[in-house]
Structure 1
Amino acid sequence: MVMHMTFTVAVAGASGYAGGEMLRLLLAHPEARIGALTAHSNAGTRLGEHAPHLRSLADRVLDRTDVDALAGHDVVVLALPHGASGAVAAELAARGDTAVVVDLGADHRLVDPVAWKEFYGTPHAGTWPYGLPELLTAGETVASGQRQHLTGATRIAVPGCNVTAVTLGLQPGVAAGLIDAVDVVAVLANGYSGAGRSLKTHLLAAEGLGAAQPYAVGGSHRHIPEIAQNLRAAGAADVTLSFTPTLVPMARGILATATARLVDGADPAAVRAAWEHTYADEPFVHLLPEGQWPTTASTLGANTALVQVAVDARAGRVVTVTAIDNLVKGTAGGALQSLNVALGLPETLGLPLDGVAP
């Protein structure tokens, strides 16, 4: 029998894009009750100054982010910059607080502390259960897989948004032994909200409108070791990834084109069947009909990932295209989906399946 419960949620970093999106989804969740809302530089201001679309919370005053404000809730969501959530989570634990802590940042995603140090440059805060219920794990069934690690979890590390898109696109082929993960190339079109809310010259409308801007080129993006970690979890012996994200003039969305070499001797006809098998029963990951390609507009505001796969016979490569809303399935929606699993609630509870169009 599925347990239903009412739970209180505190959100740290509520004035940012990820925190605001978490609040939008929580407001539609029938079991969630919004508790403390905290911020750093915006503490003392009203939420409506930063997220005027959240009308029901517009008059709430943001507290300062500290454990005194966050403690005593059933769930604490940390929508904080990388490197900040580890200390807050540790302080909550030291006080004996029993909240389920959900980290939207990167602090607890990576298993390898050496990879963390290389890409983030600070001490590793530890590894938490990984908040991607659809993640394939070698030797486990598609249905259980990562979900069994999330059930009853009191700590959840939410994946990076780019990581979610590339992982969902490629992992069926890795798990089926159809693609060679030593030669993976991913090129992504990213909405500007993925760059955060801080004021930077290259993020101004005058700089971004009408322009496409690559960033973190040449193997420097921090999501690279996380994608490799997920592909190894799906069964890859080794992973070599060329990863190039590009900011394009849209507020939300990721369109990830990821390709990998078809394994010698693999049957190209088996490719689509592998993706169909993997996602046949997934509520939020949809393999589109042949000939229909994902668009970011189709995922706007929804917790869906739209996937298509094809074989480029001349190049000997499998091509996948995946579209998600970076703030929903890529961040807050994936977090709430994982939280539902952890609390024993229906996985789809309170999560939008349908996008906003046009």
Structure 2
Amino acid sequence: MKVSIIGATGYTGEELLRILANHPQAEIIHITSESQTGTSIESVYTHFNGFYEKKLDSMKELEKIAKASDAVFIGLPHGHAMAAGKVLSQYGTKVIDLGADYRFRDISVYEKWYKVEHTHPEAEAVYGLTELYREQVKAAQIIGNPGCYTTATILALAPLAKNNLIDFKSIIVDAKSGVSGAGRSLSLNSHFTEMFENFKAYNIAGHRHTPEIEQALTEFAEGPVIISFTPHLVPMARGILSTCYAALKPGVSSQDIDDAYNSLYEDEYFVRLLGRGGYPATKNTRGSNFCDLGWHIDERTGRVIVVSAIDNLVKGAAGQAIQNFNVMFGMDERLGLMQAPLYP
């Protein structure tokens, strides 16, 4: 399949290139960067020496890119993918957007949280959390690839929501991310001296991934779900650890919880169940497309605590996008994604 990447010099674009370099059915046709057009990608990311000799194009060549590509990955900040998606879809090109522009069923929710007008409301986009929406992904032309916090959290809580095992007003999500989640642009908050030996919460009660998590959980619960979500930055390059708390409904047993996870994920290659008492860790998923899940029952408080670990740049971004790409084109969804996690 001929594929292109719009916005190839951010961390997610780089990660797409890293994984696609070993994908047996993908040929990179175009890669773009508006700030470094004409530059070779291996001069931007020197670890690609020997893998790529391509020069970066401009989005001004979008029609040319559309005609040459079976699929296009978009790695642009929110608000910028819609214009590209409109053009690409006119040519029948499959679109996988790694930003937020196509993630919401209700565009008014997107506009409220992202403060941007949605300019492609007619797009029939599919939410690309592959394990939970695989059949829709198979038939999709445009995929809204989920965010990193959302992937870790939705996968952690979906079995509980689907089986109506928890009080949906009691959910608290405490999540931590490596600094690469903030992107490659310079920022005081992600400056080395600000983050080294530091650990901090941010965007409390206002993070933009909150409505995305609520949207998916509401669908599985078949009723409104509202969460309290607090994200944190930790001084590591990559990884997400999401710890989710919820009150169990009366009469729910530990076996009910075990059965819910096993029944939803027992055939899912990229979701590894560590089971009741398991402790997922970010290092055990680093560089891979795996999501590790473990859960604990607190009999004293009547709560279930679910822990989820992913690599934010792989399962939380580029790896999941390639998993969706594989499904969209009828390929084995593991193609290009069989790397074992990097350890230590």
- Select the residue among 245, 265, 278 that pairs with 2:231: 245
Q: Greater share of helix residues, 1 or 2?
A: 2
- Select the residue among 56, 65, 71 that pairs with 1:62: 56
SS at match of 1:63: coil
Match of 1:188 in 2: 175
Are 2:95 and 1:91 aligned?
no
SS at match of 1:53: helix
C-alpha distance in structure 2 between counterparts of 1:309 and 1:50, whole Å: 42
Are 2:326 and 1:340 aligned?
yes
1:356 Cα deviation after fit: 0.8
* Pairing 1:65-214 to 2, within 5 Å after superposition: 65-66=59-60, 67-72=62-67, 73-93=69-89, 96-124=90-118, 125-126=120-121, 128-135=125-132, 146-214=133-201
Residue segments in structure 2 that go unaligned for 5+ positions in a row: none
Match of 1:141 in 2: none
1:149 Cα deviation after fit: 0.7
SS at match of 2:334: coil
Per-residue CA shift, 1:178-203, capped at 9, x if unaligned? Answer: 11222210011100111001111121
TM-score (norm 1): 0.91
RMSD: 1.4
Per-residue CA shift, 1:147-169, capped at 9, x if unaligned? Answer: 11111322111001110000000
**Which AA in structure 2 matches 1:295?**
A
Match of 1:304 in 2: 290
Are 2:21 and 1:21 aligned?
no
**Which AA in structure 2 matches 1:51?**
Y
**Which AA in structure 1 matches 2:76?**
L
Per-residue CA shift, 1:274-324, capped at 9, x if unaligned? Answer: 112211110000111443310000001110000001111112111000000
C-alpha distance in structure 2 between counterparts of 1:223 and 1:166, whole Å: 10
TM-score (norm 2): 0.95
**Which AA in structure 2 matches 1:231?**
L
C-alpha distance in structure 2 between counterparts of 1:65 and 1:33, whole Å: 19
Describe the shift of the 1:313–1:241 C-alpha distance in structure 2 as closer, same or farther (beyond 3 A). same
**2:99–2:145 contact (8 Å) kept in structure 1:** yes
Describe the shift of the 1:304–1:323 C-alpha distance in structure 2 as closer, same or farther (beyond 3 A). same
- Select the residue among 47, 61, 84 that pairs with 1:53: 47
* Pairing 1:248-327 to 2, within 5 Å after superposition: 248-327=234-313
1:82 Cα deviation after fit: 0.5
C-alpha distance in structure 1 between counterparts of 2:83 and 2:170, whole Å: 37
SS at match of 1:134: helix
Per-residue CA shift, 1:22-47, capped at 9, x if unaligned? Answer: 11111111000011110121222221
1:260 Cα deviation after fit: 1.0
**2:278–2:296 contact (8 Å) kept in structure 1:** no
Q: Which runs of 4+ in 1 moved over 4 A?
A: none
Residue segments in structure 1 that go unaligned for 5+ positions in a row: 1-6, 136-145
Match of 1:4 in 2: none
C-alpha distance in structure 2 between counterparts of 1:114 and 1:97, whole Å: 27
**1:181–1:231 contact (8 Å) kept in structure 2:** no
Describe the shift of the 1:195–1:183 C-alpha distance in structure 2 as closer, same or farther (beyond 3 A). same
Range with bigger deviation, 252-261 or 49-58: 49-58
C-alpha distance in structure 1 between counterparts of 2:275 and 2:173, whole Å: 22
Matched pairs, number? 339
1:54 Cα deviation after fit: 2.0
